[in-house]
Structures are given as structure tokens and as C-alpha cells.
Amino acid sequence: MKKIDVFEVAMSKVRNEFSWCSTVHADWEFVLTDKKTGQVKNTKKFRMIAIQNDAEKYQHIAVAIAELSSEYVKIPDMVEKFLLELQKTSETDSKTLETEMPDMHIFRFTGDVYLYTDKLLVSEDAVRDHFQKNKLVLQSRLVKPNPVL
């Protein structure tokens, strides 16, 4: 059984589900540290994807991460950071690039966060509740390997 590439599957699903939208993504990583010693135990890569409806000027965020566990508590902060990065990037890029990057200030963030993961190691309710406290709406999308025919 081939291990699925959560990023690849998530990008494909986003393009299918939001075929009329443009996307911008960035790959980041969580640094997981030992609470007692502060030593780095692990790093975990994840992908932030902005899904932008250019016609109606709104955007959603998608997060692709393999085996989501306790780091879900950091996702709302990461979403906020990503949105700020996009705004900063659009300001600087539109001045330096010949191709116009759309002004990210014109997109209204809907609060919807599409979570693409192959495995939830915490309850979906816990994630949903945490998102709600942070004024985000969890749209869960479990990534499953394609059945081999």
C-alpha cells in the first residue's frame, strides 16, 4: 500500500471542489518541542492554501497536514499569520513583479478552514470547538487513498 501524499491529494481536491477559484499556497512546518526540556522532538510539515474567489472577492483557507494531533491548537494562529503574509506579499510583489498579484486586501476571509488530513489523532469535535472559539469554521476533509481497482 503506497503512502498517500496529503499535500498532493489536498491540492487536487481543492482544485476540483473550487475549480472557479485561484489558489496560493505555502509550505510551513510546526516545530514540536518537549514541554519539560524545550528540546526539539520533531518537525511536522503542513501546507497552507488560500482559496480565492476572484469574482466574488472572498477567500477560504485550507490546511493540509498528515496525521493531525495536538498541533491543531496552533492552526488558528497559523491561519491568521498566513492571511497577514499574503497581504504583505501582495503589497511588495505587485510593486516588483511584472505580473500583477491581486491585492489581497480586497478578499474577505470567510472564516472557513478546510482541513485536509489522512488521520485525525484527536477528536474532530475538539478541533471544531477550538476553531469556533477562534471564530473559524472547520470544514473537515478526510484524505483517503484511492482504492486500487
Domains of the chain by residue range: 6-121
55-90 residue pLDDT tens = 999 999 999 999 999 889 999 999 999 999 988 876
Q: What pLDDT does residue 91 have? A: 65
Q: What pLDDT does residue 96 have? A: 44
Q: What pLDDT does residue 14 have? A: 96
With a cut of 70, which residues of the chain have pLDDT below it?
A: 1-3, 90-104, 145-149
Q: What are phi and psi of 38, to 5 degrees?
A: 80, 5
Closest by CA to 107, choosing from 52, 26, 49, 25, is 52
Closest by CA to 127, choosing from 82, 79, 68, 48, is 68
Q: What pLDDT does residue 101 have? A: 52
Instruction: Compute the distance between CA of residue 58 and CA of residue 55 in angstroms, rounded to an integer.
Output: 8
Give the CA dihedral 46, 52, 58, 61, nearest 10 degrees. -10
